């Protein structure tokens, strides 16, 4: 079991498979990209599968989410999914992606054992997409979403970040589109995970702003905390259901008290939180020949020291040195 001093138990593992990405989203990284990890620093496919095996058989992990960077850039992704699906204690598996490579991989991922996907899409307008991501790939993302739905990687969740002056007027249109195509839309408040450290609390589109915009066109009924559990998204029924919309208010309505996550970076570090200032090295233990029991012990110790919360709305908050592309979403 992965328990911390506040009594929270981690059952959800986020695994970053690469720090690389084929987009350059303005809220994540600079236009020229970043200094990528050297290949020897990355966990190998065998090391990833071994750590997931330890997590699900010895540490109580029930769900695994593959992230990046962009996880579809990982050459061995389908094989990793297939091997994790074959574990005796098979976890639920999902993947967070920008959707660009989904059209060609969705069917293979489903066959390998992936359960569902989260796809990032911030706008329905190709010109705004190009401005936000610095790439002209909007059509590829839309086709990837269709392919995921058709392959049965459901529920397909669409993650959207609203940015002032760019797409902050699109919330109702995005929800109408998601309802039409049977996707579950989730808005995420912009978080301070950009490599440029340009994030500012003032001017951010908040959960309150998003809900007010949605209510100009839809009737929203809160599902309530009982249904939410440890999920990061507060959810509302749209016009009485069955469709729902979620808002992940990491900054203005933090949910740290219910957090059930542990994170593994692409270079084998345990992070107790996206905003943690410290990491614990599992890669060194793996490569020095440590047995599974020792690796599990190190992981438990790391999680025991997890802090109470991130404090994103605190003026003394210090942004992590690693950008989002290096630690997974």
Q: Which residues are annotated as a binding site for S-adenosyl-L-methionine?
A: 27, 69, 120, 191
Handedness of CA 24, 116, 83, 299 (dihedral sign): positive
- Contact (CB, 8 A) for 105 and 117: no
pLDDT, tens digit, 9 for 90 and up, residues 128-182: 999 999 889 999 999 999 999 999 999 999 999 999 999 999 999 999 999 999 9
pLDDT at residue number 203: 62
pTM: 0.89
Q: Residue 152: exposed, middle, or buried by beta-carbon count in 10 A (0-12, 13-18, 19+)? A: middle
Strand duo 234-238 + 244-248: pairing: antiparallel
Annotated binding-site ranges for GTP: 14, 65, 96, 157, 261-263
Q: Are 46 and 283 in contact (CB under 8 A)?
A: no
229 sits in the region (left: phi over 0; alpha: psi -120 to 50; else beta) called left
Half-sphere exposure of 45 (CA within 13 A, CB side): 12
Omega prior to 242 cis, within 30 of 0: yes
Q: Is the preceding omega at residue 69 within 30 degrees of 0, hence cis? A: yes
Q: Is the pLDDT of residue 318 over 70?
A: no
Give residue 33's pLDDT band: very low, low, confident or very high (50, 70, 90). Answer: low
Number of domains in the chain: 1
Place of tokens 């912009």: 190
CATH number for the domain harbouring residue 263? 3.20.20.70
Q: Report whether 295 contacts 54 (CB < 8 A).
A: yes
pLDDT confidence tier of residue 300, bands split at 50, 70 and 90: very high
Q: How far apart are the first and last CA of the chain?
A: 23
Q: Is 76 a residue whose pLDDT tops 80?
A: yes
Q: Is the pLDDT of residue 314 over 60?
A: no
For position 315, what pLDDT does the model report? 46
- Per-residue confidence (pLDDT) for residue 321, from 0 to 100: 55
Give buried/exposed letters for 76-107 (b at 16+ CB in 10 A, else e).
ebbebbbbbbebeeebebbbbbbbbbbbebbb
Q: Print the domain residue range for 242.
A: 2-326
- Give the number of residues written for the chain: 329
Residue set of the binding site = 14, 21, 25, 27-28, 65, 69, 96, 120, 157, 191, 256, 259, 261-263, 273
Whether the per-residue pLDDT at 264 is higher than 80: the answer is yes
User: What mean pLDDT comes out for the span 112-127?
Assistant: 97
- Point out the annotated binding site for [4Fe-4S] cluster: 21, 25, 28, 256, 259, 273
> Which token pair is 240?
């009485």
Q: Which pLDDT band, with edges at 50, 70 and 90, does 232 fall under? A: confident
Does the pLDDT value for residue 211 go beyond 80? yes
């Amino acid at each position: 079991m992965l328990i911390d001093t506040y009594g929270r138990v981690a059952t959800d593992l986020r695994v970053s498979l690469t720090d690389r990405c084929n987009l350059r989203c303005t809220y994540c990284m600079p236009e020229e990209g970043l200094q990528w990890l050297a290949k020897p620093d990355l966990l190998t496919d065998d090391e990833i599968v071994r750590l997931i095996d330890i997590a699900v058989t010895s540490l109580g992990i029930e769900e695994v989410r593959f992230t990046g960077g962009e996880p579809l850039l990982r050459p061995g992704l389908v094989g990793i999914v297939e091997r994790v699906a074959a574990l005796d204690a098979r976890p639920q598996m999902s993947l967070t992606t920008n959707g660009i490579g989904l059209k060609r991989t969705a069917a293979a991922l489903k066959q390998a054992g992936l359960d569902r996907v989260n796809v990032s899409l911030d706008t329905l307008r190709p010109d705004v997409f190009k401005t936000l991501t610095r790439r002209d790939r909007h059509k590829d993302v839309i086709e990837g979403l269709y392919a995921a739905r058709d392959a049965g990687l459901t529920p397909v969740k669409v993650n959207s970040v609203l940015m002032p002056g760019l797409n902050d007027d699109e919330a109702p249109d995005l929800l109408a589109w998601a309802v039409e195509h049977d996707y579950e839309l989730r808005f995420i408040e912009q978080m301070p995970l950009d490599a440029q450290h340009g994030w500012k609390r003032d001017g951010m589109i908040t959960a309150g702003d998003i809900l007010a915009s949605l209510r100009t066109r839809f009737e929203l009924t809160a599902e309530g905390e009982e249904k939410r559990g440890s999920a990061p998204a507060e959810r509302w029924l749209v016009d009485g259901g069955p469709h729902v919309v979620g808002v992940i208010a990491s900054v203005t309505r933090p949910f740290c008290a219910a957090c059930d996550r542990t994170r593994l970076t692409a270079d084998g570090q345990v992070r107790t939180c996206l905003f943690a200032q410290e990491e614990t090295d599992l890669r060194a233990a793996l490569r020095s020949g440590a047995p599974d029991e020792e690796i599990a012990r190190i992981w438990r110790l790391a999680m025991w020291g997890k802090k109470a919360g991130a404090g994103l709305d605190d003026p003394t908050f210090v942004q992590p040195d690693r950008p989002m592309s290096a630690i997974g979403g």
